[in-house]
Structure 1
Amino acid sequence: MATPKPISPFRLSSLLRSEKDPSKALKLFLHPNPTQPKPFRHSLLSYDLLITKLGRAKMFLEMEQILHRLCHHTTFCVPEPLLCQVITLYGRNRLPSSAIHTFLSLGSFRCTPTVKSFNSLLNALLTSRDFQNFSEFASRVMEFTQPDTCTFNILINAWCLRGNIDCAWKVFDEMRDLGVPPSEVTFGTLINGLCKSMRLQEALKLKEVMIKDHKLKPNVNLYTTLIKGGCVVGEMDRVFRIKDEMVRNNVKLDAAVYNTLMDALFKAGRKDEGWQVLDEMNKNGCKPDLVTYNVMIAEFCSENNFEEVFRILDGMEGGGVKPDVVIYNVIIGWLCKTGKCNEANDLFQDMPRRGCTPDVVTYRTLFDGLCGWMHLSEAALILDEMLFKGYAPLSRSLNRFIDGMCSEGNFELLLTVLSSLGRKEDILNEDIWKIVVSIFKPKELQEN
């Protein structure tokens, strides 16, 4: 029988790239040629592929073992992008201490750090919401590197996320004082922060600075931010002027712009204009997305026009858009609100056939509605299924349910429900026990 040909370093990289199972990839890396006593010389590409694969699979202990091997593999000067990827993976998984440790260990990997690794660290700390360490490293930026545009973008974003737009402005001013050129991302981040702070006028002025002083063109995302900001403060006339500017500048309106306009117009009671926006959307060849349908369904629900709601729901898949659980929750909520609990329950039961699984919000919404309209038997069935799936009802809904059974004198159902709840001790609260005790307390004790 022929001896299998040994795997070469080049072949190992190819096998690691195609292997989907990170555990098998690790085993292959560690023992590429089990029958060969000769030490295997791994390539840097093999290390890169495996480290990335393990990190994405959140196998951090195994990833760190491979990093330890790489650190002691003195043949290689480890490239900075690989270690930036490691720092980023830690950030995405809320492991800021590990990100910091990797950054401070760059020298042991024979890697010369640049602003790229520092930016990776800042972004990882921001993603982890570790503002304490973020502030510490940000204040020492000059000790590590010369900040670039990306550095300032991260700093501005950090202040915006913390709701301190004035500090974000100061960073922007410092950026310009140092001669670091702002980018589209810089302006987009700061304008988004201004809009969220309802400072639309300042956001619009900053857009003009972006165009006139820095010769940068706003993209569809920046215009969408401004339109959303205008809708929030109710300045619809200004919103339409922004929309007209987009058209003049040949910036194609996407579904996000149309959806924002429709939703704002509906909420402002300008329904005819909202439907005109939908017509324009269709005429311009912009295909409605999930949010579009959600906006339409919410509007018809508010009008109690459920016939149209179900027509849209049934037609969505024909348009290539699958309704998600959010849409079903909205419809079920409105049906319950208007007393159409049977229809809500029917839709709930039909969701799996429609290819959508109810979530905890679905169960809670339906249960609350059934309790509110005293459909107690149906509510008991939903509660039983909810508990089976590991979901818990809201306390106010459960209190209303117990109180409703007591008021109706339906003690048989009450005992059945209490038996089910007894297996979930954390759900039974003090208010429920007070209701139950008051019902079953002997009459002579109640009189005393």
Structure 2
Amino acid sequence: MEKVKMITPFRLSSLLRLEKDPKLAFQLFRNPNPESSKKPFRYSLLSYDLIITKLGRAKMFDEMEEILDQMKEENRFLPKEVIFCNIITFYGRSRLSEQALRTFDRIPSFRCQRTVRSLNSLLSALLNCRKLDKMREIYLDIDQYSSPDACTYNILINAASLNNSLVVAWDLFDEMRRKGIQPNVVTFGTLISALCENSKLDDAFRLKEDMQRAFQVKPNAFVYVSLIKGLCKANELDLAFKLKEEMLVDKTLGLDSAVYTTLISALFQAGRKGEVSGVLEEMREAGCKPDTVTYNAMISGFCVEKDFDSAFGVLDEMKEKGCNPDVISYNIIIAGLGKDGRLREACDLFEDMPRRGCAPDVVSYRIVFDGLCKGMEFKEALSILDEMVFKGFVPRGSSLEKFVDRLCMEGDIDMLVSVLNSLANGNAINVDTWKMVTKTVCKKTELFNSSEIFDMLLPS
């Protein structure tokens, strides 16, 4: 019998890099040579890095922590800080702030020195989790962790901007300059975006001039897009188009579909839809292909104007151009038809979505369910509710409350029981739902004595 070739530490790293399934990669790492019962396997630092990255991306955090504990016992090498930065980032993306903090705190126990790199990873993770108070706590004692750099301040300024604290953002900007830290294009982009969001366009344009004149930092596409969005929001379309022309002249700015989409939306809002075709033509001539977001902006504009023939025409054009409509495309039209009282057409389009190659999502179902309830189409609403529950969706709490209330007003006990059965069978009733239904039913004295309803309202 041919002898089984043993996997070496170098070979393990290669196999882990090639393995697509994180579960199989984990099994391989834990037992690289199942036929061998000799001395322990000598794992390399690269193998640890690879498996931790695969498990973190797959959100297999229990297994990742198991590998991390194993790595802690190694004495042949010192782990690199980047491994912990990645782990903190994985936790941040999954909104697991406590685990991100714990990982940061544990870094020294691995005989690894923390630097500004892991500090920035932690701040970014906390920002993803919207733990702004914790970020402020760390900032107040920031010198005990590391010396902050431009990236540190960019994250803090972004947090202040998201919290609508422009004064704090400016204070941070001033502080980084006092410390001799040079602001970069991200710093200015974040501040300009925040100013535009708060309709402080004059300040935003002054800062754009300052970044070029005083700091020799060239504005990037993000800066221009923020300013264009701000101008469109203020209905200053002529200035917005002027900025777009600046971007066309400077080929390094990478004029993309986001700019044109913003302008198209603004044209519809300003009642200038006749200019949209010209923007689309220019867009194509500039080598910028309209994407789904662009077409959806057009669909939305036509639906607001109740021009549904044109909205459906956009759907057809998308297919012709090889840009398949997504669920948002259909949801916009379904919602628009419902608001215009064309409920039957909305339901027809909803039912036709699978044939068109796009499955309805929870938003689709909620739009149709709300429309049917508003139109007093209770039987069809119940049918949609059954489908929702079967697919793991539930209506909005406020919609469900209105539905139950209307059934109570109609005195339709059988329908009410069917609704409760549907929700219960799909495990779609939580404590808040039960409280709402109980409160609604008990307000209706004509139903209060119904033992059938009362029994339905008692959790089993």
Question: Counterparts of 1:191 and 1:205 in 2: how far apart (Å)?
Answer: 9
Amino acid at match of 2:30: L
Q: Could you say which residue in structure 1 is the equivalent of 2:117? A: 116
Residues 6 and 209 of structure 1: CA distance in aligned 2, closer, same or farther (over 3 Å)? same
Tell me if structure 2 keeps the 8 A contact 1:90–1:98.
Answer: yes
The equivalent residue for 2:357 is 355
Residue correspondences, number: 437
CA–CA distance in 2 between the matches of 1:31 and 1:275? 62
Question: Is structure 2 residue 354 aligned with structure 1 residue 345?
Answer: no
Structure 1's 394 and 114: CA in aligned 2 closer, same or farther, altered over 3 A?
closer
Alignment correspondent of 1:421: 419
> Aligned-pair distance for 1:274?
3.5
1:128–1:207 Cα change, 3 Å: same
In the TM superposition, residue 239 of structure 1 has moved relative to its aligned partner by 1.8
Q: CA RMSD in A?
A: 2.5
Residue 13 of structure 1 and its aligned partner are, at CA, apart by 0.7
Native 8 Å contact 2:408 2:447 kept in 1:
no
The match for 2:56 is: 55
Task: Name stretches of at least 5 consecutive residues in structure 2 with no aligned partner.
Answer: 424-428, 451-460
Which segment is superposed worse, 202-211 or 295-304? 295-304
1:102-157 deviation digits (Å, cap 9, x = unpaired):
22332332222222122112212222222232122212222222211111111111
Query: Cα offset for 1:298?
Result: 1.6
Contact 2:407/2:416, CA 8 A, preserved across alignment = no
- The one-letter code matched in structure 1 to 2:299 is I
Q: Aligned residue for 1:83?
A: 84
1:431 aligns with 2:429: no
- Aligned partner of 1:212 in structure 2 is 213
CA–CA distance in 1 between the matches of 2:349 and 2:274? Answer: 29
Per-residue deviation, 1:440: 9.8
Equivalent-residue separation in structure 1 for 2:47 and 2:227 (angstroms): 46
Matching residue of 2:426: none
* Alignment counterpart, residue 303 of structure 2, candidates 298, 301, 304: 301
Q: How does 1:58-207 map to 2 (within 5 A)?
A: 58-207=59-208
The alignment status of 1:6 with 2:6, answered yes or no, reads yes
**2:458 alignment counterpart:** none
Q: Which residue of 2 aligns with 1:444?
A: none
Q: 1:432 to 1:359 in 2, by over 3 A?
A: farther
- Which amino acid in 2 is paired with 1:191? I
Report 1:202-351 matches (<5 A). 202-250=203-251, 251-351=253-353
CA 1:224/1:51 → structure 2, altered by over 3 Å: closer, same or farther? same
TM-score (norm 2): 0.87
C-alpha distance in structure 2 between counterparts of 1:89 and 1:23, whole Å = 17
> Is contact 1:194-1:203 (8 Å) kept?
yes
Identity of aligned residues (%): 50
Give 5+ residue unaligned stretches, structure 1: 442-448
Letter in 2 for 1:21: D
The match for 2:35 is 35
Task: State the Cα distance separating 1:324 from its structure 2 match.
Answer: 1.6
Secondary structure in 2 aligned to 1:105?
helix
In 2, distance between residues paired with 1:257 and 1:65? 46
Does the 8 A contact of 2:407 with 2:413 survive in 1? no
Q: 1:385 to 1:261 in 2, by over 3 A?
A: same
Relative to 1, partners in 2 of residues 1:422 and 1:352: Cα closer, same or farther, differing over 3 Å? same
Asked whether the 8 Å contact 1:372–1:400 carries over to 2, the reply is no
Quick one: structure 1 residues 252 and 20, their matched pair in 2 at CA, closer, same or farther if it must change by over 3 Å?
closer
TM-aligned CA deviation for residue 399 of structure 1: 6.3
Q: Pick from 365, 368, 371 the counterpart of residue 366 of structure 1.
A: 368
Structure 2: distance between partners of 1:60 and 1:405: 46
